Chain A
Amino acid sequence: MSIKLTTQAYCKMLLHAAKYPHCAVNGLLVAEKQKEKKKDSHSTPILCVDCIPLFHGTLALAPMLEVALTLIDTWCKENKYVIAGYYQANERTKDFRPNQFAEKVGARIAENFSEAAMIMVDSTRFTMGCYEPILAIYDHHENKWKCRDCNADCFEDWCEAQKITSALLEGRSYESLIDFDNHLDDLRNDWTNPEINKSVLHLC
């Protein structure tokens, strides 16, 4: 039932927040599609392998979000992924609780993927060193979102995630991060961020 994050997913989430420190940002998390439903499938955690940064600034408008979900859904099908989660970092640093909008999007994703998670980024603990995970993970239970403790267990490899995210932040890689908003500004901007993915792999 629980999700885990790869280094690439965590990295790109934080780079997105770092690129727009004065804005709210949001995005999606994708996981590999499970082939069969094993009997004990709910005990194996779902691994979110990648993160698609969506928007920055005014988040609470519908049309572009729907466009993004449609396009990303197609991309997921091509790559045997499924949209497994939603993340959001609010505009105000001290405000890290999910708002109505986050819950709505989370619920929409949960309709297609029952174990969807909603993740809020806690900017108050955001440092260049990335010494601790700064996420709050929410699971959907009976129409409510329940917060789960986020620690090293929520990561495929926390040490690696910490090291690489910190390195990319220091190197200002966030300047070249592309989110869906950037893509809409110029279609040539690639929201899959292949260059950053390469950098992550390179540092692994």
Chain B
Amino acid sequence: MASVSEMYDVTWEEMRDKLRKWREDNHRNSEQIVDVGEELINEHASKLGDDIWIIYEQVMIAALDCSRDDLAWVSSPSDMSSSSEQGTCLQELKRQFPGSQRVKRLAGMRLEALEKYEDASKQYDSILQDDPTNTAARKRKISILKAQGKSAEAIRELNEYLEQFVGDQEAWHELSELYINEHDYGKAAFCLEELMMTNPHNHLYCEQYAEVKYTQGGLENLELSRKYFAQALKLNNRNMRALFGLYMSASHIAASPKVNATVKKANVKYATWATNQINRAYQLAGRGTKENKCSVKAVEEMLESITMS
């Protein structure tokens, strides 16, 4: 099989930079990370300098995702002596950083990947014994609960965690997702409100909050959802979900028997505006593809349905 560098005509520096970008954006494209990272480690380890350690960590986690235990950890010591295989990430990290909590956590993650949840939990407990403030270990323990399907416990533990570490945005987001999966939209909204407070310019949180409110249903929540879809659009006028959401919420409000004529008129206006914007977006994107024509047609029908009512 051709190497990554051959297939995509990239240099090792470009591969290293790509890995960094994926790291910074927290992408979970594990197969790609393994492909690029494995080659980088095997062919260019000497050139990477100190970067190699963080790359080992990144590749190891990706390898766990892809069930590449051969890359994450070589099972028997005898395999090590024969080959020049350097892709045994965890062993290299253990050797370089003996006794490190960060490496211990990686060992725990490997146990999780092997579904040895009790052993993994013990691993994390030992980290927490030495360092009770180790957030990574606590979050891994909650992940184990999630993996075992113990949603109620995971939610409870995550709530306790957030009482202590109230600024952990990743945790708030995770909690909102757990609540959404349990159909507890009220509590999910609360988590997103926390995120919006600390990240007022993040259009994605605004838009997700609007989706949760819409799902909750009821006239008040619909109006709130419309406002937040509009806010998300203000922050990023290319957010299609916000645009579609604005259309959906406004047209539902306009169609509701509980609203007076003024409110209805206003919402028809918003929905019409949204439809025109959606139309425009599709025209800009479309190269006259068949599917696109259908989408444009659907949007035109949407426009007709509002103006008729």
Contact = CB atoms under 8 A, between A and B. Distances in A.
Interface of A: 21-22, 58, 60-64, 66-67, 70-71, 73-75, 78, 91-92, 94-95, 100-101, 172, 184-188, 190-192, 194
A110 to B, nearest CB: 20
B166 interface: no
Given A66-B248, A187-B282, A190-B291, A71 B149 contact: no
Given A58-B180, A95-B149, A78 B297 contact: yes
A124 B198 CA distance: 40
Given A75-B294, A187-B282, A64 B241 contact: yes
Given A62-B211, A92-B147, A187 B281 contact: yes
Given A62-B214, A63-B248, A184-B240, A192 B301 contact: no
A83 to B, nearest CB: 14
Given A67-B244, A74-B297, A172-B31, 11 more contacts: A22-B28, A61-B180, A62-B214, A62-B215, A63-B215, A63-B248, A71-B298, A74-B294, A74-B301, A92-B149, A100-B183
B39 interface: no
B262 interface: no
Contact of A70 (B31, B281, B302): B302
A74 B292 CA distance: 11
Interface of B: 28, 31, 65, 147, 149, 177, 180-181, 183, 210-212, 214-215, 217, 225, 240-241, 244-245, 248-249, 281-282, 284-287, 289-292, 294-295, 297-298, 301-302
Contacts, number: 84
Interface SS majority for chain B: helix
A67 B292 CA distance: 15
Nearest to B177: A58
The 5 closest A-B pairs by CB, nearest first: A74-B298, A187-B285, A62-B215, A75-B294, A61-B211
Contact of B240 (A91, A101, A187): A187
